[in-house]
Structure 1
Amino acid sequence: MSDTKAPVFSCPEEQKVFSRVYKYADMATRLMEEFKTPPFPNTYALMYAYAAGENDDIALIVDEMLEKGDLSPYEIDNVYSRHLCPMQDQAKREKIGQRVDEQISSVLDLVGTGVENSDQFENVLKQIGNGIGESTSLDQLSAAITNLMSENQRMANQSRKLNEGLKESREQIELLRRELEDVRNESMRDPLTTVHNRRAFDMKLVAELEVAQKNGSHLCLAIADLDHFKRVNDSFGHRIGDEVLKIFAAIISENIKGQDLVARYGGEEFAIILPATDIQSAAQLIDRIRLQTFQRKLVLKGSKKPLGDVSASFGIAQFVPGMTPADLVELADQRLYLAKSQGRNRVQAEGLKTSAA
């Protein structure tokens, strides 16, 4: 017999809340069992949010995932990071904001204390000044000087404490500023490859497209897909597959310049935004990445067993005034599909010859 005691509720409303929570938790668990999803915290959080039905976007996306049977760990993490992580990021920012408010309050207290001490010192100086006249004896003058020196020392000590407190608060505020920046950066990065994530890609593409539209400047988008990546996972396991993704992301990152951006776009797909870059230059850059990927001979640590050829296919689209971000992505996708259909390990860009091994 179980020793678990039934919860005691203080009111009927509380009982309703707990009943609803238990219901959603049970639904989330059943969904994970039915669709054999990985039993990770992110999966449970996503399924619970889906069961609760309070977010229309999550409901629509998970419905599509369930229909397609596409419940891979990456896709789950991707949806989680795009739709649930922002809530966690907001909570982190709010917590840091509270700590900033506390530091500001501390600074105001210190300033208030400093003003109070300054007023007190001013009053003492007035009293000493009023007590000194032509008839003041040497003993009285000596006592006034002693009092003045004592007050001056007290004021110096208070000023030192004030400065120390202000310095400490300034250091704390700077630390909080860095923490806030770290939270922001973490929310824009893919945790596996450390390149930017889909959220960062979406924001960057909109911004760069607006610049290109306004200034009439060049803008290219490349979408890359590792060829036969499922074969790597099936043959060597997901851990090795993850290492291949990291290496591919690193090759791209090493070849692009400061204003460019690479993001993990899907499971084994990466998107590269190339501002101020024409189609010819983009194709040369992307083909260099393709070639370096293919020439990198990967072997398993320990056994030195070769992984076999690892290649990638690329599709490049060039911005044309009037295009939307979705138009540019769709065009790059079409070129990628063409590169795949023509044999993989090649670059397809409109108006340019195919580059292949």
Structure 2
Amino acid sequence: MNDTKTPVFSCPEEQKVFSRVYKYADMATRLMEEHKTPPFPNTYALMYAYASAENDDIVGIVDNMLERGDLSAYEIDEVYSNHLCPMQDQAKREKIGERVEAQISSVLDLVGTGVENSDQFETVLQQIGNGIGQTTSIDQLSAAISNLMSENQRMAGQSRKLSDGLKESRKQIELLRRELEDVRNESMRDPLTSVHNRRAFDIKLAAELDAARQNNSGLCLAIADLDHFKRVNDTFGHRIGDEVLKVFANIISENIKGQDLVARYGGEEFAIILPATDLKAASILIDRIRLQTFQRKLVLKGSKKPLGDISASFGIAQFVPGMTPDNLVELADQRLYLAKRQGRNRVQAEDCETNAA
């Protein structure tokens, strides 16, 4: 007996919508199988977006990735973070915005009620005042005073309600502000290593380059690349490779100052922005990071099997007037590749070849 249920659609238009959804879902699954991509939610979301062809940028990027055969988990996550997560971040911000609007509406209602009560209280006071002026007996005066006290108590109660309501709204708005800040911070972080991502790097580099230009201050950029990282992944698996990335990111983070920024720039590449820093100071700092990385002897949990030497190569560029962010990145990249050619596990801060580190 076939237990498969046929979906019931309320109208032909609904049937068309579901048909498209099923079609794109099937295409996404086939693409994942054909290209042996990691079977993760991010991969499916990216392939579904590619199949639906609703975003030209995603279609172009995935076309290039398929052509290069470059469908690693990191590259997929990078595209997902840069092109699909912003949509989710925007949705989160919109929801928070709706809640802020609701709180503002509540505040306006409270203020409106307060104004209305105040006007009523003023009217009653005026009436009581006029009545007191016309009293001819102790009983009339006593009744007027009793009326005044009753109205005063009513107004005091309304004032307390208004104050409590405004305090609660203020608390809720502050909570929403923090939620909005959390969403913004999440969108600027690499989910694996928790350091900043490429988007945060681009924003920070542009800002620091403008500051260096305006203040005539120092600025250096270092780009780091873990040596033979593919060998780690191939030998021990991607999960261990991810742990190595976290360790390296942590070593960098522990050595930089508050005004500096480290970002995951690519798969195993990291970028370090060093404001108010000259080339000599940057070289000393980056070499300390290089040495600590090489000296960190990593072993597998349980078996205690050593991973072998983990090292990184670095290229450093110093900002000079007239440079753009792209110029600075390109120069740091060139010096990184020069460090690689000279044997790796070294810091390159010049355009010419130097002795081994």
TM-score range, shorter chain: over 0.9
Normalising by structure 2, report the TM-score: 0.95
% identity of equivalent residues: 83
1:179-328 matches, within 5 Å, as: 179-328=179-328
Q: 1:2 to 1:144 in 2, by over 3 A?
A: same
The 2-side partners of 1:239 and 1:199 are apart by: 25
Q: Deviations over 1:187-232 (max 9, x none)?
A: 0001111100011111111222222333333221111011111222
Cα drift, residue 134 of structure 1: 6.0
Aligned to 1:8: 9
Farther-moved stretch of structure 1 (51-60 vs 338-347)? 51-60
Q: Deviations over 1:54-90 (max 9, x none)?
A: 2222112111111121111111011100011111101
Farther-moved stretch of structure 1 (56-65 vs 299-308)? 299-308
Farther-moved stretch of structure 1 (170-179 vs 121-130)? 121-130
After the TM superposition, list the runs of 4 or more consecutive aligned residues in structure 1 that deviate by more than 6 angstroms. Answer: none
CA contact (8 A) 2:294 2:311 kept: yes
Cα drift, residue 238 of structure 1: 2.1
CA contact (8 A) 1:85 1:187 kept: yes
Is 1:146 matched with 2:146?
yes
Q: How many residues align?
A: 356
CA contact (8 A) 2:227 2:345 kept: yes
Cα drift, residue 182 of structure 1: 0.2
Q: Deviations over 1:11-32 (max 9, x none)?
A: 4x44443333332222111111
1:48-63 matches, within 5 Å, as: 48-63=48-63
CA contact (8 A) 1:208 1:275 kept: yes
The 2-side partners of 1:356 and 1:245 are apart by: 25
The 2-side partners of 1:69 and 1:118 are apart by: 72
Aligned to 1:69: 69
CA contact (8 A) 2:342 2:353 kept: no
- Match of 1:262, SS state, is strand
Letter aligned with residue 267 of structure 2:
G
The 2-side partners of 1:46 and 1:6 are apart by: 26
Aligned to 2:177: 177
Q: Deviations over 1:279-337 (max 9, x none)?
A: 11111110011011111122223333322211111011122322222222121111111
The 1-side partners of 2:305 and 2:284 are apart by: 32
Q: Which runs of 5+ in 1 are unaligned?
A: none
CA contact (8 A) 1:224 1:314 kept: yes
- Match of 1:84, SS state, is helix
CA contact (8 A) 2:342 2:356 kept: no
CA contact (8 A) 1:346 1:355 kept: no
Q: Deviations over 1:101-124 (max 9, x none)?
A: 000000011111111111111111
- Match of 2:4, SS state, is coil
The 1-side partners of 2:201 and 2:303 are apart by: 38
Letter aligned with residue 8 of structure 1:
F
- Match of 1:131, SS state, is helix
Cα drift, residue 355 of structure 1: 7.3
CA contact (8 A) 2:193 2:246 kept: yes
Cα drift, residue 5 of structure 1: 0.9
The 2-side partners of 1:269 and 1:75 are apart by: 12
Q: Which runs of 5+ in 2 are unaligned?
A: none
The 2-side partners of 1:324 and 1:125 are apart by: 70
Letter aligned with residue 10 of structure 1:
C
Q: 1:311 to 1:130 in 2, by over 3 A?
A: same
The 1-side partners of 2:263 and 2:352 are apart by: 24
The 2-side partners of 1:5 and 1:81 are apart by: 36
The 2-side partners of 1:128 and 1:135 are apart by: 10
Aligned to 1:21: 21
Normalising by structure 1, report the TM-score: 0.95
Letter aligned with residue 36 of structure 1:
K
C-alpha RMSD of the superposition: 1.7
The 2-side partners of 1:291 and 1:135 are apart by: 95
Aligned to 2:95: 95
- Match of 1:211, SS state, is helix
